[in-house]
């Protein structure tokens, strides 16, 4: 019996040492290759005028608020490239749906992962990511929380609060109105 347990433990450890699992929530800018880091641009002015060009733009909430002021209604989609939920939609669907419903679409990636982010953006709209340097956070999850607090002015009440779990943030001008779980209900 002892030999069986010992053999099972050794085999399990041997197999698990060969498996590498990457969790998107733990992605960090400093873990990107130098080539991929060069594809992230910080401190761009007039972010509303930017177009998709294989660059990801790191932004602060104040920059996004300036952009939001220019449009009567906008939706910020907090997009996760690997999200499999029915509420995570392709970027082309998001942009088209927003335009049909007269919302200005803004894509804010939860994290950066190349080449996925480049390949999945088949729209003219740029992809933004939270400027982790400004928020002094190495992990995107912590930087995203600080960014959303600055952007919406609302702090989630707990881990199950809709502000944390919904992906679509509706704005009128730069004023946050509500979160929406399913964009197709607009």
For 57-84, the pLDDT digits (tens) are 999 999 999 999 999 999 999 998 888 8
Q: Give the mean pLDDT of 172-179.
A: 94
| Lowest-confidence segment of 4-13, 90-99, 159-168 by average pLDDT | 4-13
Q: Is 98 helix (H, G, I), strand (E, B) or coil?
A: helix
* % of residues, the chain, pLDDT over 90: 34
Quick one: which H or E segment has residue 59?
strand 56-59
Give me the residue spans of the domains in the chain. Answer: 28-185
**Angle at the Cα of 107 (from 76 to 103), degrees rounded to 5?**
50
List, for residues 91-119, the tens digit of each pLDDT value.
999 999 999 999 999 999 988 887 777 78
**pLDDT at residue 97, as a whole number:** 95
Closest to 46 in 3D by CA, of 37, 35, 32, 59: 59
Q: What pTM did the predictor assign?
A: 0.81
**pLDDT at residue 51, as a whole number:** 86
pLDDT surpasses 60 at 16: no
Closest to 28 in 3D by CA, of 152, 144, 159: 144
Confidence of residue 13 (pLDDT cuts 50, 70, 90): very low
């Amino acid at each position: 019996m002892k030999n069986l347990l010992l053999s099972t433990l050794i085999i399990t450890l041997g197999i698990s040492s060969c498996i590498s699992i990457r969790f998107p929530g733990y992605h960090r800018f400093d873990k990107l290759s130098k080539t991929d880091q060069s594809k992230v641009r910080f401190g761009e002015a007039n972010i509303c005028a930017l177009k998709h060009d294989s660059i990801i733009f790191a932004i602060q909430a104040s920059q996004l608020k300036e952009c939001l002021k220019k449009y009567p209604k906008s939706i910020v989609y907090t997009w996760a490239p690997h999200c499999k939920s029915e509420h995570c939609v392709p970027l082309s669907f998001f942009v088209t749906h927003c335009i049909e419903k007269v919302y200005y679409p803004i894509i804010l990636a939860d994290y950066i992962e190349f080449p996925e982010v480049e390949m999945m953006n088949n729209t003219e709209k740029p992809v933004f990511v939270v400027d982790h340097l400004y928020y002094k956070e190495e992990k995107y999850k912590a930087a995203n929380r600080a960014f959303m607090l600055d952007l919406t002015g609302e702090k989630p009440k707990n881990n199950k609060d809709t502000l944390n779990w919904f992906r679509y943030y509706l704005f009128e001008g730069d004023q946050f109105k509500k979160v929406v779980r399913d964009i197709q209900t607009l």
